[in-house]
Structure 1
Amino acid sequence: MSVTMLFCFFLKKCRVPLLLLLTIISCAPSPTEWEPPEQLSEYGLFQGTGAIQKPAPNVIPYDLNTPLFSDYTAKYRFIKLPKDTQATYDPIQTFDLPIGTIIAKTFAYPHDMRDRSKGQHLLETRLLIHRPNGWIGLPYVWNKEQTDATLEIAGEILQTQWIHTDGQQRSNKYMIPNVNQCKQCHDQHGHLKPIGIRARHLNRDYPYDHGSMNQLTHWSQQGILENAPHPNNAPKLAVWNNPNAGTRNERARAYLEVNCAHCHAPEGRAWSAGLDLTASQTDPSLIGVFKTSTAAGAGTGGRDYDIVPGDPNASIFPYRIASTQPDVAMPELGRRLVHTEGLALIEQWIANMNTEK
């Protein structure tokens, strides 16, 4: 579909204000450079229709130690590198990925979270594609038949429902980002880049068809990763909800890194706030301890510091994590629901901090 056709289509549908629409189109790939496929199936990422999310032979599934909270959706991650190319290992930063790499993440709601065998409803598949002029993010929305997904550069809001783990029916107006909003989380020093393809996130086992294996080892054996050390010598982020996978401090710091540090870190778009929420940061003030917030008005909830050790009720962090109000909630994009379990972890972490200033 050409840019002109997209313009006419969205004017007809009146999905977004004209100014936003023009901004989105101006940031879309030029048709003289590359026209992204209209249908997800054209990429050849999945076997069959894609409904069961079974990757094609040249596509590798993966998972993260601690994933971003996305309104309780199930997520399926995949990576595809061009033939005969490799990613280059880095102990800290995102791996150096060759041009032509495709990273895919599918979001779905299980019909019943107590029993995943009852099926699920696929919502969207987001792609990050490494083009010669940089990375581009593209959202594809799954059809009602669950046979394919269609490119929606302006994003969409889906009315969803499911049975939650407590047996109660839940609903959500699930938000699919537009192409510009991808950069709000993936912006590193002004450039859109992947976040999860880092050693500390990937250093874990994955249940492949042939058996469980460490992902770094598997990628190396498959020939798509070079210079990776033995997993024992690679960094590893704690699993936020597994007490056996780290201390409360390690798990809380992992949670904050994954949910907040894409913006609140030296390379992030919110570095001006003076927070570095990466798990390796050791300066108490940079992780918010007795640090006055740059937020104004409703963003502080009348609280003075981001973190008051020993007192989560006086701390700004849990106040903002507990909110769904647009000018208060953090993260500000990617969720419409409160992550009750994640909030509890952060509150417990703050409550058990040393109370000396």
Structure 2
Amino acid sequence: MFKKTCLLLLFVSVIFSCNNDDDLVAACDNVTNVSSNSITNNSATITWDASNATALYTLEYGVSGFALGSGTIISESDADAQLLELTANTTYQVYIQTICSTNNVSMYTDVYSFTTLAPNVIPEFRTNMSEMNLFVGDLGDLQITPYAFEYDLNTRLFSDYAHKQRFMVLPEGETLTYDGEGLPLFPNNSLIAKTFYYNNNETDLSSGKNIIETRILIKIDGSWETGDYRWNDAQTDAVLDLDGGIVPVTWIDAEGESNSIDYEIPSDTDCLTCHSTFGEKTPIGPKLRTLNFSVEGTNQLQQLIDSNLLDGLTDPTTVSVLPNWDDDSNTREERARAYFDVNCAHCHIEGGFCEEQSTLRLSFETAFDDTNIFQRKNSILTRIQSTIPEYGMPYIGTTILHDEGVAFLMAYLESL
């Protein structure tokens, strides 16, 4: 009897269970394949795949590390959402919940992360350099904006042993235009920056650096304008300073020797001395023949071409190369002429600052017989060994001798 009663109860429960199948609610599934696109410096579009076409969605997002419940919440009926008013160069996290009905919601998805782009560079001389967005993160790290093209020169200008970081920023969608082996044509609102700094200890780079100044040229309405930014002691920002000044600098060189100088930041008038041709301000460094060499295995002109930043040139091998003065695989003549070109020619050319004061013409392309180097070699020898203001050469930009460069030039000149 007891066994019959149990079987009857089991039969009834099965019947009732079957009769209630229509009342069961299907689980509300999480969305899948969360992704992002159209990311800018202040917005992003989030998309996902959903199995329930009639569901609604709740998104919660915030800066990386935020706690659920403390972020920004938005509701969507489609499988995408646009996030606005974001902060540039910032990583955000997103969680999505599916709402199938009032009483039937999914769990939140696993976290999805994306990072906004860096802020756009502002090609204007602002009071503080931080306002121009030339660097990302802490300014003292000198991490340049991703919109910049960093470059180097095969032969570099000597500036009291300071290190230099060089880069250019072109307006979005604009390019340089090939105009021979010298300077390319720059579009309006182009910006060129050069930062001068010393490693505190060349034998231990972990000891940090001392950033002194960042010199900037901006092409405005067809003409180049100059501005110099002097870094603060905390290395957190630099302020526009057109008056120049003296900064005491001490560092330990690669031989472990301590060095001290009174570094001279040029005034805006001083900048015009070198950066002027026929009375017009002009860049000096980024001539194509000076950029035409490989950095970390990649030719810089080829990199410009591949990045769609240089128009009118397809083959860097058609451009000559300004030799590296410190590379003894080049001839002594080539090395000396390259050194003169970078350190002296911006003044000693037609239209340069020393056009009338001197008969020297020191651009690399000038035929030797037209340079007057031989005729003026005794004067050159005397002046490159002097630091007397307005007598020693270079005319400005240095306070101490470039020992290695001077020794090489003396050997070259005495061999003539």
**CA distance in structure 2 between the aligned counterparts of 1:43 and 1:84, rounded to whole angstroms:** 19
Q: CA deviation at 1:206?
A: 2.1
Is 1:253 aligned to 2:337, yes or no? yes
Residue in 2 that maps onto 1:77:
166
Which residue of the partner structure matches residue 219 of structure 2?
130
The aligned counterpart of 2:245 is 156
% identical aligned pairs: 36
> In the comparison of the two structures, how many residue pairs are matched?
293
Out of 126, 142, 148, the residue aligned to residue 231 of structure 2 is 142
Higher Rg of the two aligned structures: 2
| Residue pairs, 1:142-221, within 5 angstroms | 142-207=231-296, 212-221=297-306
Alpha carbons of 1:35 and 1:120: their partners in 2 closer, same or farther (altered >3 Å)? closer
* SS at structure 2 position matched to 1:42: helix
The equivalent residue for 2:371 is 286
Letter in 2 for 1:228: L
- Post-superposition shift, 1:186? 0.7
Letter paired with 1:131: I
Q: Do the aligned partners of 1:91 and 1:198 also contact (CA within 8 Å) in 2?
A: no
Tell me, what secondary structure is at the counterpart of 2:141?
Answer: coil
User: What TM-score results when the alignment is normalised by the length of structure 2?
Assistant: 0.68
Q: CA deviation at 1:113?
A: 2.4
Q: Deviations over 1:316-353 (max 9, x none)?
A: 21211111111321111100010000001101112222
Which runs of structure 1 show a deviation greater than 6 angstroms over 4 or more consecutive aligned residues? none
Deviations 1:141-168 (A, max 9, x none): 1111111111111112101110123322
Residue 322 (str. 1) matches residue 385 (str. 2):
yes
1:346 corresponds to 2:388: no
Q: Retained in 2: the 8 A contact 1:205–1:215?
A: yes
Write the deviation string for residues 67-87 of structure 1: whole angstroms up to 9, x where unpaired.
Answer: 110000000001000001011
Q: CA deviation at 1:175?
A: 0.7
TM-superposition CA deviations, 1:98-142 (whole Å, max 9, x none): 010000000001112234343211000000011115111101011
Q: Which AA in structure 1 matches 2:388?
A: Q
- CA deviation string 1:23-78 (max 9, x = no partner): xxxxxxxxxxx972011111111111221222111011100011110000000001
Contact 2:349/2:362 (8 A) holds in 1 = yes
Aligned 8 A contact 2:154 2:293 in 1: yes
Where is the strand percentage greater, Structure 1 or Structure 2? 2
Which structure carries more helix by proportion?
A: 1
Q: Residues 208-232 of structure 1: CA distance to partner in whole angstroms, max 9, x if unpaired?
A: xxxx311101111111111124222
What value does the CA root-mean-square deviation take over the aligned residues?
1.5
Helix, strand or coil: the match of 1:77?
strand
Cα distance in 2 between the residues matched to 1:152 and 1:160? 18
3-state secondary structure, aligned to 1:335: coil
CA contact (8 A) 2:213 2:265 kept: yes
Check if 1:277 corresponds to 2:362: yes
User: Which amino acid in structure 2 is aligned with residue 77 of structure 1?
Assistant: R
SS state of the match for residue 121, structure 1? strand
State the distance in 1 between where 2:283 and 2:173 align.
21
Distance 1:341 1:91, change over 3 A: same
Aligned residue in 2 for 1:7: none
Give the Cα–Cα distance (whole angstroms) in 1 for the partners of residues 134 and 127 of structure 2. 14
1:48 aligns to 2:137 (yes or no): yes
Q: How does 1:78-117 map to 2 (within 5 A)?
A: 78-117=167-206
Contact 2:124/2:132 (CA < 8 Å) preserved in 1?
Answer: no
What is the CA–CA distance in structure 1 between the aligned matches of 2:154 and 2:218, rounded to whole Å? 23
Which structure exhibits the higher relative contact order, with contacts defined as CA atoms closer than 8 Å and separated by 6 or more residues? 1
SS at match of 1:51: helix
The alpha-carbon distance between structure 1 residues 35 and 206, as it changes in their structure 2 partners (threshold 3 A), is: closer
Name the aligned partner's letter for residue 327 of structure 1: E
Query: Secondary structure of the residue that 1:318 maps to in structure 2?
Result: helix
AA aligned to 2:130 is: S
Counterpart of 1:20 in structure 2 is none
Amino acid in the other structure paired with 1:329: G
> Structure 2: which 5+ runs fail to align?
1-122
> Which letter does structure 1 place at the counterpart of 2:216?
L
Q: Does 1:263 align with 2:347?
A: yes
What does residue 318 of structure 2 align with?
Answer: 233
User: Given that residues 326 and 332 in structure 1 are in contact (C-alpha distance below 8 angstroms), is that contact kept between their aligned partners in structure 2?
Assistant: yes
Counterparts of 1:76 and 1:106, CA distance in 2: 5
Do the aligned residues in 1 keep the contact of 2:305 with 2:314 (CA within 8 Å)? no
